[in-house]
Structure 1
Amino acid sequence: MTTFDDRERAFEAKFARDEEMAFRVTARRNRLVATWAAEQMGLTPEETDAYAKAVVQADFEEAGDEDVVRKLLGDLVSAGVDTDEARIRTALEAKTIEARRQLMEAQ
């Protein structure tokens, strides 16, 4: 019976690691895409840092990426940046890859 218990603990540990990594990738991605958006809006480095924190925080409003897309789109349009939802989603995909790469290199 210990073999099954060991396997169960191993699967639970792997699940926990995978979930933690997914959370870290998403948080890093949100920071990267916020920096991209801040550059589009012409924010200062201090404003960029505060904006990145706000975007990361916005991701906790609901499950999925809709809350982040909505915030970025609203902020970019308000700042007079010519953009659309498709461009933001493309940036999210690119920044997800970059975030995953950065985290893998850091390990």
Structure 2
Amino acid sequence: MTTFNDRERAFEAKFAQDQEIAFRVTARRNRLLGEWAAVKMNLTPEETDAYAKAVVQADFEEAGDEDVIRKLVGDLTAAGVEADDAQVRKALDEMAIEARRQLLESK
């Protein structure tokens, strides 16, 4: 019975670790996405930092990426930058790859 309990604990620990890594990748991706959008909107470095944090916070509104995409498209459009869902989704995918790479390099 001890072996079974040990395996169960190991699976639970692995699941928790995977969830933490996924959260970190998503948060980093959103920050990079905020910085990408800030460059397009010609924001100052201080405004860029605040905007990137706002994009990270926007992801907590609902499950999935739709809240982030909606925020970015709305903000880019309001700033006079031509942007659509497809462009933001492409950037989102690219930033996800970069975020994972950065996280792996930091370890």
Q: Which runs of 5+ in 1 are unaligned?
A: none
- 1:59 maps to which residue? 59
2:20 aligned with 1:17, yes or no? no
C-alpha distance in 2, partners of 1:82/1:75? 10
Gaps of 5+ in 2: none
> Structure 2: which amino acid aligns with 1:98?
E
Q: Distance in 1 between matches of 2:32 and 2:83?
A: 17
Taking structure 2 as the reference length, what is the TM-score of the superposition? 0.99
Give, in whole Å, the separation in 2 of the partners of 1:44 and 1:23.
28
CA offset digits 1:45-96 (Å, max 9, x no partner):
0000000110000000000000000000000000000111000000000000
* Aligned twin of 2:93: 93
Moved over 6 A (4+): none
Task: List aligned pairs for 1:1-107, cutoff 5 A.
Answer: 1-107=1-107
- Aligned-pair Cα RMSD in Å: 0.3
Percent of paired sites with the same residue: 75
What is the TM-score of this pair, normalised by structure 1?
0.99
Which residue type is aligned with residue 92 of structure 1? L
Which one-letter code corresponds to 2:100 in the other structure? R
Deviation digits for residues 2-49 of structure 1 (CA, Å, limit 9, x no counterpart)? 000000000000000000000000000000000000000000000000
